Chain A
Amino acid sequence: MEDNIIKIENVKFKYGKEDNKYAVDGVSLNIKKGQFTAIIGHNGSGKSTLAKLINSILLPTEGKIFVKGMDTSDDSKLWDIRQTAGMVFQNPDNQLVATIVEEDIAFGPENQGVEPSEIRKRVDAALNTVGMYEYRRRPPHLLSGGQKQRIAIAGILALNSDCIILDEPTAMLDPSGRVEVMETLKKLNKIGKTIVLITHYMDEAVQADRVVVMDKGNIRLDGTPKEVFSNLDAIKKFGLDVPQVTELAQVLIKEGVDLPSDIIYVKELVDLLCQ
């Protein structure tokens, strides 16, 4: 079995034929099965375009993308690709289709022509995984933003996707909604789902296994959160924030305190300072 669930090979993409600027400009990226990857970058860096390319909503102008070995430009594989790499979008209101929560989660498997009894099982399982079972009979418009996003995630789970791609799922949420979504994603990652999280919140990116920084359609940094965020100046140059704890640690180092330069978690710094 292939180790990389997503393979992006030198992909370029532009929206209009006449555009001289590529939204995605020569990206190569492999994502391992079961990995939790965060893709960060400022608005217009190409990160959302990349997500849509993986899900075959857009097709590369140049280069190839493979999802579980399937070429995203292969028409006959379209639905398998979308089933394998499910996608959650930014606006929680504009991706829920049905008037009742459980009906909405059933939407995906219904489209796939799954047996009714099997759909019921999947919907209940998905509701339990995201912790929304008791809300199953509610109309979505009465839920909070965080709850709506959890329903959207459950909708992808019901598709039995191996991989979930989330395009700035927390951008429109309040702090507690953001925590809800992150907790759900970490839980899904633990049960083996591959997660690709597109975000511009650093406190979310530090919770991933791997951070990819995009700027002007290209990958600029790629590594563990520690490797990436210790490049303080580079990150700031790309119009992004650095976790305050990293900033504090680096200032303390300059002042002569003996600390490693790749601190990114509060607990880490506190432990080291208290030794």
Chain B
Amino acid sequence: MADSNVLLRVENLCKEFPVDSGFIAKHSKNARSVHAVNNVSFDIKAGETFGLVGESGCGKSTTGRCIMRLIEPTSGKVIFEGNDVASMNAKELKAMRRDMQFVFQDPYASLNPRMTIGEIVSEPMVIHNTVPDKDERIEIVRTLLDTVGLNPEHINRYPHEFSGGQRQRIGIARAFALRPKLIICDEPVSALDVSIQAQVLNLLSDLQKEFGTAYLFIAHDLSVVQHISDRVAVMYLGNMMEYSDWKTLYAEPCHPYTQSLLSAVPIPDPDIQASRNRIILRGDPPSPIDPPSGCPFHTRCPIAQAKCSQDKPELREVLPGHFCACHFAEPNPIKESSIEL
């Protein structure tokens, strides 16, 4: 993948959290750990939107935070514009953070309640001293607020005076203050009402058109990801299962997990919704402390065979640009006959 267009490349990223606390437990030989992210690799091109989906606890947020080094990765490389983020010192990290910003899930927790909107949005510019002049900075903040659809007159208000959707707009304005090349959006709309979700998604796509920013868009809602992403990756239990451009992935999922996920997306037409066959997975995702041997999905997979519990399938290119980690990868691998109703 020697594509000069690649902005961010993640290689074999792993993150383990120790389960046992305390000096003795941490240093014992059989210390247990949560394998939150397991050998995840992908790349993001400049200006594109890369969707990362998966159910709760599959490690998608941890992946996002490791890329930003808000959490130290256990191993692996995060290469941003040719430099390895994981081995940067404090100074290089600060310089990198000018070009990579974060939008948080919870718009109520991500804004400091003791700062005005103006202070919040201008803080990145103060930290990196990009705009030393205060009046000029205020002017930029007002423009930014207008761009994200807020009234610039509200610059001196405090976050608690705004609604959830407005707060998320403030968070987005803050992320765009330095014109970064990549913004990691960690479920930016899942805390919002559906109508507000649509507005915020539209805002994000408008801003992308204007500034050419790339997004790593983390979500658990497939319909949200579908509407914003160029390419989509599916994670399960800390592992990358499949990734491809969204059209192929939605039309011809090659991994049984992706296929069952897609079959769970409600269709806003009662007749179609009633008549289609949903693939219902049995059981819960296994514990990431003690992941299953072989393919992490074999315990719930309707087409699992003996091989799946022994050999772990590697992510391989099954079709051009379409990567899948399954021994039996083919378009729509779960056939009608294998669905037990």
Q: Do A and B come from one complex?
A: no
Residues of B bordering A, CB below 8 Å: none
Q: Which residues of A contact B (CB under 8 A)?
A: none
